[in-house]
Amino acid sequence: MCAENVKGTEVRELMGKAFRGPLVTQQQQLVLAELEGDAKLVYHCGLTPKRLPDLVENNPVIAIEVMLKLMSSSQLTDYFSVLVNMDISLHSMEVVNRLTTAVDLPTEFVHLYISNCISACENIKDKFMQNRLVRLFFVFFQLLL
């Protein structure tokens, strides 16, 4: 029991760092291993829907795993809502793409995410950034097909 509390505390501390910046590989592997070993740890690691965008941008691999662990959560809709409404980026597309290949996501979520990607591409004023995001979106969209 004591060892479990130490591991849980360590994972919570690492998750706190994961929200603020990228973890080094060893830290990331530790978090992933502990989440794999204890499916309920995802509910006690400090993650909230509000903190999901920071996790997605700083540690997308961990974000993917926690989202997969949350698939049976009563808060899943809140997490999906945050994910679909966050700024479109390479990491957010990576997370959504990996989720679509791992589980059956609600069709309306995928459609809304695609729609938001298109809107984001249309609304960028900087032509270089617009071209970059459009290319990322088309790669993402191709992977969905």
| Radius of gyration, alpha carbons of the chain | 16
pLDDT for res 69 = 95
What's the pLDDT band for 143 if we cut at 50, 70, 90? Answer: confident
In the predicted model, what is the mean pLDDT of residues 27-38? Answer: 94
Rounded Cα gap, residues 90 and 60, in angstroms:
10
What's the pLDDT band for 1 if we cut at 50, 70, 90? Answer: very low
Rounded Cα gap, residues 95 and 92, in angstroms:
5
Q: Per the structure block, which two tokens stand in for 99? A: 């989720």
pLDDT for res 145 = 80
pLDDT for res 144 = 83
DSSP H helix total and E strand total for the chain: 8, 0
Each residue of 102-111: pLDDT tens digit? 999 999 999 9
What's the pLDDT band for 43 if we cut at 50, 70, 90? Answer: very high
Q: How much is the pTM?
A: 0.89
Rounded Cα gap, residues 55 and 17, in angstroms:
9
